[in-house]
Amino acid sequence: MSIYIDQIEQLVVLQKVDSEMITVQYILEDAPKQLQELQEKQDYLKDQGAIIQEKIDVLVEQKVKLENEIDHDTQKIKKGKNKLMVVENTKEYHAMMREMDTLEKMNRTREEERDNLLADLEDLEGRKAALQTDIDSLGDNIAAQQATLDQELGAKKKRLLVLGKEKSKASDAVPAPILSRYNFIRERIPNPVIVPVSEGVCQGCHVVIPPQTYIELQKGEQILSCPNCMRIIYWERHFSEKE
Q: What pLDDT is attached to residue 130?
A: 95
Q: Count other C-beta atoms under 10 Å from residue 197's C-beta.
A: 24
193, 232 Cβ separation under 8 angstroms = yes
**Which part of the chain has CATH 1.10.287.1490?**
27-161
Tens-digit pLDDT profile for residues 20-53: 998 998 888 888 888 888 999 999 999 999 999 9
Give the CA distances from residue 157 to residues 28, 144, 146, 153, 162, in Å, rounded to whole numbers and listed in that order. Answer: 8, 20, 16, 6, 9
205 pLDDT more than 80:
yes
Q: What pLDDT is attached to residue 1?
A: 60
Q: 27-161 belongs to which CATH class? A: mainly alpha
CA-nearest of 227, 235, 193, 234 to 210 is 227
Tens-digit pLDDT profile for residues 111-143: 999 999 999 999 999 999 999 999 999 999 999
Lowest mean pLDDT among 69-73, 119-123, 170-174, 231-235: 170-174
Average pLDDT, the chain: 90
Q: What pLDDT is attached to residue 213?
A: 94
Percent of the chain with pLDDT strictly greater than 70: 98
Q: Count other C-beta atoms under 10 Å from residue 171's C-beta.
A: 18
243 pLDDT more than 70:
no
153 pLDDT more than 50:
yes
Tens-digit pLDDT profile for residues 160-172: 999 999 999 889 8
